[in-house]
Every structure is written in C-alpha cells, then in structure tokens.
C-alpha cells in the first residue's frame, strides 16, 4: 500500500522540536537491549525509519561506534539537514536516504535492529509498515516502535487557545489518515502484522516540558508553525477562524511565560523479537 | 480545612491493586535523591501520607534500614492491613497510624522526606495539604508528590463498557471534590502553597498493564469493585443502568482475555526542596 498524497499533506512538527529528540529522551526503552546486543556483536546494523532530522539516529550511532546506522525518511527535503546535523556532531557511521516505510529499499534480514519513532501513527496501514520492518530485520534481531497517544496530552493551564490547538493537531493527524491514539494500538498493529503475542514486549513512557527553556523552545516552535501559511490554511479549512488562530498564538506565548505551566504526553512502545 | 463527608465517600481503588504498588513502580522519581540523602544521613525520617496498605512505605523503609518510616492514612480500617503486610515482608523500621492530611499530627520539621502518592487529587484544597507537608519537613529536606491524570488514561481496545467505567471513575473523583487532572496541576498547587518555582522539580512517568498476569489482577479487582454494593449504588445514582454495570463487568472480563489489550496512565510528579 502506497503512502498517498493525503498522508503527505500531514503537517509534521517543525524541525527545531524534532531536533531536540535523541536516543536518551526517545529510545530509552531499547537501550538495555541495544547494549546487550552490542556486547555479542559490535558491528550491529540499525535502521531508523521516519528519521526526520536524524538526531535519534545519530545519537544511536554514537552508542554503536563499530556498527552502522541507516536513517530513512519519505521527505527528501529533510535528508540534507540530517546529514549536516550528523556531521556537526562528528558521527561518521551513518547514512541517510529517502525511502517509503511501506516499501523499504532493503533486502530481507538486512538489519539487526529496525526502529521507528512517531511514524506509524501517521499511516493508514501501520501494520503493513510493521511487516516491512520485520522483513528487513534478521532472525534474532529486534523491531522497535514508539508512538505518542495525542489524546493523553496533559497541558496546564488549560487556556482556550491551547485546547483549540490540541483539537487542531488531532484533526490534522486524523485528516491525513492517521490516529491520535497510536501508542495504545502498537500491540494490536504488531499482532495484525502476524507477530505472536509472546514475541512482543509493551511499555510506556512520557515526554514533558516544564522548565523555562523547554517551554520557550516548545512555544516558539508551535507559534512559528501556527503562523506558517500551510498550517494556517489547514486550520481555516478545518473550521477555525483567524481569531482562533490569533488566540492560539497568544495563549502559547502566555503559557511559556507562566510559572505554573507544563505539558506532557504519553508514548506507547513495543519491542518485537524477530 | 477539614476533609468532609463528601470526600470520604470517594471510592478508592481496591486494596489488591493498591498492594501492587512499591517504591520501584511508584517512587522512581525520588530514589536518586533518597539515596544521596541517605549517604549524608543514614537515619532519615520519612513520612508517607495516604499510605493505604503501606506497600510503598515499607519498600521505602527497606531502602533506609537505619532510618524510620511513618505511614498515615485517613481511613483507620486500612492501618491493620498495612501493619500486617509490613510484618510479613520483615520490615521493622516502620509505623502506621490514622491521620488527616490537612492537619498532620506531627511537629514542624519532624521529617527529612515527606511524600504522598495518589492522595492530593482526591482533595478539595490540595495546596493546604501541601502546606502541611512542607510544615512537617526539615529545612534541607524534600517534599514529593505523585498524582495521576485520569484523563490521560489509554485503554485498548476501547470496548463500550471500559469507556463507561472510565467516565464513572472520573465522575466519582469529581463528585468527591477532587479532580481527574491532578498530575498536571501539582506544580500550580505547590506555587499556591507558597513555594518558589525554582525550588520545584517537575517530572512525569507512567504505569501500564499489558501482560496476562497484570491484566488479570487489574480486571479481577475492578470487577469486584463494580460488583460491590457501594460502587454499584453510586454508579446508579450517577445515571448508569444495571445494564451498563453488567456491560462494564463483561468488557473488563473480555479485555483481560484479549492479546491486544493494554491500559496505561500518566502521572505528574514534583519534588520540592525545603
């Protein structure tokens, strides 16, 4: 099944938020297994699908200096940025290329570890993408996925502009054929991809922003996004007024400045033993 | 402010779920600080407010064998059970007593560490209880609280009986004067109790159940609760029919038996440096 144009229209979070991601804050659930696999075989091959600016990929590459990481993303525009960021951080054992999660350009069993982060939730047939991840992974390897449940988001204070933004974010994912309840469905998607239950480990973890610096990064990035023509157009199309969009901007600004403000979201995680 | 009879009517989760709690699954956010404080002073005094069956208190007591733990709960009925469980697990440096979170029966600065878990969210004035926690804690000590955000709960599959149960659980907390959005408000409550922002650290974590054994414990406990006369009466009073209550029981049973089922909830956490 191909990723169609409707899916491509989904507005992903902007690059500067994505660039805050790393192995520590986004891949904690696979690190114990990664370290034990590395002890057995230092030359691990790892594939990161939907890598975006590649900050998770490159921090994982640092953990396996004698291994090799491949990052792919369906958007060719992000690839040069991923290459630049990896080079800036001195990571050599990595490559990035454009690729389709439904039709991975790799042979069966090409990787020891195949991961994705915040990718399956945007797809119409995530179980098909999981099947592909399984196909390109060696027997004895692992497939790992971490996806947010947007509906679990806890924001405080609940300013009206933030509530409207939260609804808009969910409508955009659903409008693109994805789901705002991805984390909780990972297990069911893996079963639908044909994996036996006993080969799957489930866990959950969170991200949260509450310090002045974290709130500043989050707020500035979201405001840029809301003021951008693409999201603005989609918001108006989905029933928001220009007044609503202005209120969203005003309330993210106020939120970042308030001492009592925080935001957190829960993620579901699965590790499949191949 | 006293805990009134309306608050007392809140149906707390049943004992066998509460007895699954321990320092590892419920107090991870304070363990690094607890260990560093213990290195400075092995004779730490720790107070756990709303301790219920005391399994968090007693596992913390094991971590500070030369220290002392006091567990208090407003319900005198749970105290003998807490004492029995601590004795069964061989913990000696602990005592349990009945006590009111709004009026702690302890002198100013009596404890090095004062904690609570899933307690403030049930109160009408959680900031008053936090003020009391701060009062009984020594300067240089810490106050720590962990509270769930019921609205962050992610259950799968979303069987209608589970959706009805989730709504009932929220209605019960709110009916008792509490909130189903406690975790995200901890920071604001601490500020309202007069704490400076720079003395507060915020974090989030989750609990989740997905293995057959975990689901069995959860499902059996909730079904017993729904079949009990107290919750049944409250459910009917809040607009559910006997058919709804039967459906809730049927769907928790089905949920526990399904391979694709899981449940998770996010918790807010704060540590206040006194």
Q: How would DSSP label each residue in B196-265?
A: -GGGEEEEEEEEEE-SHHHHHHHHHHHHHHHHSHHHHHHHHHTT--HHHHHHHHHHHHHHHH-TT-EEEE
User: Please, which pLDDT band fits residue B3 given cuts at 50, 70 and 90?
Assistant: very low
Of residues B234 and B105, more confidence is placed in: B105
Residue pLDDT, tens place only, B257-271: 999 999 999 999 999
Q: Considering the domain boundaries, does residue A117 fall inside one?
A: yes
Cβ density class B55-75: b for 16+ within 10 Å, e for less: bbbbbbbbbbeebbbbbbbbe
Q: Considering the domain boundaries, does residue B1 fall inside one?
A: no
User: Please, which pLDDT band fits residue A228 given cuts at 50, 70 and 90?
Assistant: confident
> Would you call B208 an interface residue with chain A, using a CB distance cutoff of 8 Å?
yes
User: Please, which pLDDT band fits residue A1 given cuts at 50, 70 and 90?
Assistant: very low
Share of chain B above pLDDT 70, in %: 94
Q: Considering the domain boundaries, does residue B265 fall inside one?
A: yes
Among the partner residues B154, B191, B203, nearest to A149 by beta-carbon distance = B154
CB contact under 8 A, A204 and B155: no
Rounded CA gap, A78 and A100, in Å? 14
Q: Considering the domain boundaries, does residue B2 fall inside one?
A: no
* Model confidence at A96: pLDDT above 60: yes
- Beta partners for A269? A146, A203
Whole-model pTM: value is 0.90
B96 CB contacts (<8 Å, ≥6 apart)?
B51, B54, B57, B70, B71, B72, B73, B79, B82, B83, B86
Nearest 5°: phi and psi at A46?
A: -120, 135
User: Please, which pLDDT band fits residue B21 given cuts at 50, 70 and 90?
Assistant: confident
Residue pLDDT, tens place only, B178-200: 999 999 999 999 999 999 999 99
User: Please, which pLDDT band fits residue B12 given cuts at 50, 70 and 90?
Assistant: very low
Mean pLDDT across the stretch B223-252? 91
Rounded CA gap, B147 and B167, in Å? 18
Contact present, A44 and A113 (Cβ < 8 Å) = yes
> Would you call B124 an interface residue with chain A, using a CB distance cutoff of 8 Å?
no
Number of domains comprising chain B: 1
The residue range of the domain holding B257 is 13-273
Q: Considering the domain boundaries, does residue A169 fall inside one?
A: yes
Residue pLDDT, tens place only, B34-82: 999 999 999 999 999 999 999 999 999 999 999 999 999 999 999 999 9
Q: Which sign, positive or negative, has the C-alpha torsion A125, A131, A132, A137? A: positive
Q: What CATH number did the domain enclosing A160 receive?
A: 3.40.50.150
Rounded CA gap, A122 and A13, in Å? 12
> Would you call A179 an interface residue with chain B, using a CB distance cutoff of 8 Å?
no
Nearest 5°: phi and psi at A97?
A: -155, 160
Q: Considering the domain boundaries, does residue B75 fall inside one?
A: yes
Largest CA distance in chain B: 59
> Would you call B147 an interface residue with chain A, using a CB distance cutoff of 8 Å?
no
Q: Considering the domain boundaries, does residue B124 fall inside one?
A: yes
Mean pLDDT across the stretch A70-85? 95
Nearest 5°: phi and psi at B186?
A: -55, -45
Q: Considering the domain boundaries, does residue A7 fall inside one?
A: no
Rounded CA gap, A82 and A262, in Å? 29
Share of chain A above pLDDT 70, in %: 94
Size of interface A-B (CB pairs under 8 A): 92
pLDDT at position A186, please?
98
Q: Is A182 helix (H, G, I), strand (E, B) or coil?
A: coil
**ipTM score assigned to the predicted complex:** 0.88
């Amino acid at each position: 099944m191909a990723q169609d144009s409707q899916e491509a229209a989904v507005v992903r979070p902007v690059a500067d938020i994505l660039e805050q991601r790393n192995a520590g804050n986004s891949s904690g659930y696979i690190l114990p297994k990664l370290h034990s696999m590395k002890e057995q075989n230092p030359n691990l091959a790892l594939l990161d699908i939907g890598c975006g600016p590649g900050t998770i990929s490159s921090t994982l590459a640092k953990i396996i200096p004698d291994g090799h990481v491949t990052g792919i993303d369906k958007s060719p525009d992000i690839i040069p940025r991923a290459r630049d960021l990896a080079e800036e951080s001195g990571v050599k054992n990595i490559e990035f290329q454009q690729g389709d999660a439904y039709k991975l350009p790799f042979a069966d069993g090409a990787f020891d570890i195949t991961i994705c982060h915040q990718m399956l939730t945007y797809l119409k047939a995530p179980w098909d993408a999981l099947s592909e991840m399984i196909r390109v992974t060696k027997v004895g390897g692992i497939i790992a996925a971490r996806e947010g449940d947007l509906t679990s988001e806890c924001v405080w204070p609940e300013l009206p502009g933030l509530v409207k933004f939260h609804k808009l974010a969910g409508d955009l994912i659903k409008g693109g054929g994805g789901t705002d309840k991805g984390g909780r469905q990972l297990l069911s998607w893996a079963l639908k991809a044909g994996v036996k239950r006993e080969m799957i480990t489930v866990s959950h973890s969170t991200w949260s922003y509450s310090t002045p610096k974290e709130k500043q990064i989050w707020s500035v990035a979201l405001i840029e996004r809301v003021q951008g023509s693409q999201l603005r157009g989609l918001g108006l199309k989905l029933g928001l007024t220009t007044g609503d969009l202005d209120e969203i901007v005003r309330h993210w600004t106020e939120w970042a400045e308030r001492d009592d403000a925080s935001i957190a979201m829960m993620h579901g995680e699965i590790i499949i033993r191949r």
